[in-house]
Structure 1
Amino acid sequence: MPAPGDETAPAARPAPADGPIQWAGYDNARAVASLRTGEDESVVYGTASIGGRPCVLVAFEFGFLGGSLGRAAGDRLVAAYRAAAERRIPLVSLVATGGSRMQEGMVALMQLQRVAAETVRLREAGVAHVAVLRDPATGGGWATVGAGADVVLALPSAQVAFAGSRVRPPDADPAAYTAEDQYAHGHVDAVVRPEELRDTLALWLRLLSAPADGPGAGRPAPAPPPPAFAGPAGGGEPGTGWEAVLRARDTARPRSGAYLDAYFEVRATVHGDRAGGADPGVECGFGVHEGRVVAYAAQDGGATRPAGFRTAARLIRLADRLGVPVLTLVDTPGAANDAVAERAGAGPAIADAFAAIAAARVPVTTLLIGEGGSGGALALAAPGNTWATSDSYFSVIAPELAAAILKRPPAEVPTTADQLHIRPQDLVELGIVRGIVPRGT
């Protein structure tokens, strides 16, 4: 038989009786499956149009030997990935599989390596992949085609797991193997009802199909003007550092959601860090602004957790591969520093966010909309292209913590805030931000 890396076309490689390991009755099982489903393999693919956007569509037929992956199915997956890369149109995979096909032994399992290689090639080509997890999506099909996609959608109550129902520990929590639980732990971007799937896919194809060399490519995304807000000083720049802090902490101040709603005509979120976590205080995704696709990562005023930094880094790297400019909205008192956050890798997650922005080839624009607390805020700020609102501050450390470290009494916190030079106008003078964005009307 061919070497594992041989990509000879299926027609040039005649199949031996009962498959590569001569599993007795395999040919008959395939014939029965074909009669039942009308298909000759567990995977079919072709071109399609969803919402007027072209794509390469892959569908698993679970009725054909449990949608399992064998050599012929692997050939079709390779062909589908390559067609998407060559035509530079997104790949959409409708996954329903129990895993690798036992009747082909290790030959079946090695299809996972082939899919992984094509995933890398698709990413290098700057082509997006959206996977839809049907019931079930388990084993190697989930761990390669499904989890390897850029955007992962799942149908409600679908079984989503690496371990199939017959091989799990007998005392395993059944909830851990559901689409909803995978979403809660940051492995799935959205759980979508069947009647909403077509429109959801159409939106994602619109957001992910923007050509890297199309109109506006290479231009930074304009920072959104702040929504109208009459702060403590009624507008204008804060007079003192402490006033800047109080204005940034004002609960009536517009948060990131108000900015995103005003800025984007439509948007869809990228959810979770793909490492077991999701931070509700950081929203990431893609949206359309004045006809142009822009990626965004927005802090919402709370302490950012490790999953939030990792999700933002994931978003920035995806946007960079697709040639989409990035907008970040910075608003956090700092990174979460409780024991749970430390054990979840706060330091490595912050480092990853810094690295993602530093490595980005697409323009990244940042608007500081509230608190800018230390490295937890700076990690999402674009060097040389950060702007501030008049209701914001940026500081190496919170004034209260600085006073405590210096053993100053609480009454000296405002003075300490002034000494830190954290007002928006101070940041402009220091060259930290490019300018102050006026409020909207």
Structure 2
Amino acid sequence: MNWLTNTVLPKIRALGAKKEVKDNLWTKCPACAQMVFQRDLDAAQRVCPHCGHHMRLGAKARLEMLFDDAQWTRVPVPDVPMDPLKFRDSKRYSDRMKEARARSESPDAMTVGLGRIGGHPAVVTVQDFAFMGGSMGLAVGEAFVTAALKAVSERCPLVVVTASGGARMQEGILSLMQMPRSTVAVQRLREAGLPYIVVLTDPTTGGVTASYAMLGDIHIAEPGALIGFAGPRVIEQTIRETLPQGFQRAEYLLEHGMLDMVVHRHRLKEALARLIGLLTVREQVQAVAEIDIPEAAPTAN
């Protein structure tokens, strides 16, 4: 009886039991509502193979996509107070941060990496919308300033990939102070004569748009990205008018002169490599001109 109970019956139950299927094997495209196999979606860099909709991409995946051979070095960012204002709404801000960090591979919404794009050295900093909506707080401001200073010390361009809902309300005025801080950091790049390229992804709004997202030498956006300060619904309620179709989307902004180009994610690395090559030619020529070439020895007649 023990043999039947302990060995045979469990095997029979196992045969009849339904196998658990992971709930993350498929993803529904928010644009066309088609189901996409997760492995195929990751291979396509989270671009829907049916309609071309650009879904949001994490910081690690973004950095691996942009750097040559997916090789990059994380640039350390100084620590900042996690809850400077002891903020609490429905739950403590410190608890929200712990939960966000547990789900993320980074301590905050911005990750800084150093590597090569098309053979050119570059510093790339990426905002991850999955981390509290990519909101800008003390840590994001510190990461941006660190990235700019690293670019200056390495004499290489800075590429910023934005994805944010704006300033982090739990940090109040301290969050808003990151706007002028980032502006000063961009000025350091200007004074050093280094390129500053901004890649705007969906969504880029609020204080991020009002500061470093719109201070680039070149502004690139992914197709369909929502870019603006306030959202379309807020604007419609304020001005009491219906906005044009596609208002604040990348293509509309390109048509009205706020962007330099809209580039598909699969061609983004190639476009960045070409731009960096063009924008750093002057520096390369200057470096060659500064080389001390000894004069040729006189030849005997």
Contact residue 45 and residue 76 of structure 1 kept, 8 A:
yes
**Residue number in structure 2 paired with 1:194:** 265
- Please say if 1:72 is aligned against 2:143: no
- Please say if 1:158 is aligned against 2:225: yes
**Residue number in structure 2 paired with 1:209:** 280
**Residue number in structure 1 paired with 2:167:** 100
Matched residue of 2:287: which SS? coil
Identity %: 36
Matched residue of 1:177: which SS? coil
The alpha-carbon deviation at position 176 of structure 1 amounts to: 2.2
Q: Distance in 2 between matches of 1:174 and 1:140?
A: 24
The one-letter code of the counterpart of 2:189 is L
**1:36-90 Cα deviation digits (max 9, x unpaired):** 2222100010202111111001000100010010011111110001111121100
Matched residue of 2:286: which SS? coil
Per the alignment, do residues 38 and 148 of structure 1 end up closer, same or farther by CA in structure 2, a change over 3 Å counting? same
Matched residue of 2:116: which SS? strand
Contact residue 19 and residue 103 of structure 1 kept, 8 A:
no
- Please say if 1:147 is aligned against 2:218: no
**Residue number in structure 2 paired with 1:44:** 111
Matched residue of 1:33: which SS? helix
Q: Distance in 2 between matches of 1:175 and 1:135?
A: 14
Q: Distance in 2 between matches of 1:33 and 1:94?
A: 20
- Please say if 1:22 is aligned against 2:87: yes
Matched residue of 2:246: which SS? helix
Aligned equivalent of 2:150, options 79, 83, 92: 83
Q: Distance in 2 between matches of 1:73 and 1:28?
A: 18
Q: Distance in 1 between matches of 2:98 and 2:251?
A: 36
- Please say if 1:182 is aligned against 2:253: yes
The one-letter code of the counterpart of 1:213 is Q
The one-letter code of the counterpart of 1:175 is G
Unaligned runs of 5+ in 2: 1-76, 291-301
Question: Which residues in structure 2 correspond to 1:123-142 (within 5 Å)?
Answer: 123-142=190-209
The one-letter code of the counterpart of 2:105 is G
Structure 2 length as normaliser, TM-score? 0.64
Matched residue of 1:214: which SS? helix
**Aligned residue pair count:** 206
Structure 1 length as normaliser, TM-score? 0.44
Per the alignment, do residues 14 and 33 of structure 1 end up closer, same or farther by CA in structure 2, a change over 3 Å counting? closer
The alpha-carbon deviation at position 14 of structure 1 amounts to: 4.3
Per the alignment, do residues 23 and 181 of structure 1 end up closer, same or farther by CA in structure 2, a change over 3 Å counting? same
Unaligned runs of 5+ in 1: 1-8, 218-441
The one-letter code of the counterpart of 1:137 is T
The one-letter code of the counterpart of 2:88 is W
**1:136-171 Cα deviation digits (max 9, x unpaired):** 011121222221010010000000111135633334
Contact residue 142 and residue 160 of structure 1 kept, 8 A:
yes
Contact residue 92 and residue 131 of structure 1 kept, 8 A:
yes
**Residue number in structure 2 paired with 1:56:** 123
Q: Distance in 1 between matches of 2:288 and 2:256?
A: 37
Higher relative contact order (CA 8 A, sep 6+): 2
Q: CA RMSD in A?
A: 1.9
The structure in which a higher percent of residues are strand is 1
The alpha-carbon deviation at position 192 of structure 1 amounts to: 0.3
Matched residue of 1:35: which SS? helix
The one-letter code of the counterpart of 2:253 is Q
Matched residue of 1:46: which SS? strand
Q: Distance in 1 between matches of 2:245 and 2:184?
A: 32
Contact residue 232 and residue 247 of structure 2 kept, 8 A:
no
Q: Distance in 2 between matches of 1:105 and 1:165?
A: 24
The one-letter code of the counterpart of 1:193 is H
- Please say if 1:32 is aligned against 2:105: no
Contact residue 23 and residue 104 of structure 1 kept, 8 A:
no
